[in-house]
Structure 1
Amino acid sequence: MNSVFNEHPSRRITDDFIEKSVSEALASFNGNREEADNPNTGIGAFRFMLESNKGKSMLEFQELMTVFQLLHWNGSLKAMRERQCSRQEVLAHYSHRALDDDMRTQMAADWVNREQSVASTIALEVASTERELEDARLAGRELRFYKEKKDILMLAVGQLNAANTATLPSH
């Protein structure tokens, strides 16, 4: 039902929607108008993402936001910043990529690497994610980000188990 609502023509990103959303964000975070015009600020990046997705449905934008939430959670955005990638370059790269098995597999591999550096990293993150998922469910919030996090972590567990099985001595 949500997708029917979100795909309705009136649920598309328009200039009016962008202005209203940015104004609400400025009010929520006590920001000033200059922040909204600076793509290096959080609100400016939000405006940039909205403007880059003008005409798209809310569902399409929500999917893109989930990708960026996952990239932030996974540390990929930080790594890109360290490589001097601009927000515009990152947005241009990821705004045309769907959250697919390749992206999930790469993120899971990142968690496997973390686990190999610090034992129990994945177990702690799974426990935290399960709590967040349940809290979001009980609060009636969107669940996709938390579900995707859990799926990526479970994929990482599977990759670890496969790697451990492959390295066990056979009798």
Structure 2
Amino acid sequence: MGNAIPMSYSRTIQTRLVLPPDTNHHGSIFGGRVLAYIDEIAAIVAMTHAKGDVVTASIDSVDFVSPAYVGDVLELEGIVTSTGRTSMEIYVRVVTRNIKTREERLTTESFVTMVAIDAEGKPREVPTVYPETETEKRLFETAPKRREYRKAKRALQH
């Protein structure tokens, strides 16, 4: 599918309010809830890029940097950082904002691999991406290292 498209094409931002049912007995959000949000935004980003259905291949890394509490606002941002023939690496960044103090903290960073599929559920080709901003260039240029790491990890598992 040779035509490269800008990374910004599929950028997606979601805002969520942390509510009591989302939290544990400490009043901070469940890690599993954050993972579900990450998987959802990564899927939206990948579907936008691939212009069709996708499946999650792996959630490669999740770093929980700081907690989010009831009443905090989560802002999730996802972007395609690199592509294979049928796969897309999605970077998801979660920032917590306290509405009263306006303080913002990085909560979670994650890389998710999604695969585009056709109507029969078989992998299908996706367009390549190119970076435009400095942040995008950094994510794009470091993607081959992450891909090698994933390949090595898979080799160890088999």
Same fold per superposition (TM over 0.5): no
- TM-score range relative to shorter protein: under 0.3
Q: Which has the larger radius of gyration?
A: 1
More strand by percentage: 2
Give the TM-score normalised by the residue count of structure 2: 0.28
Give the TM-score normalised by the residue count of structure 1: 0.26
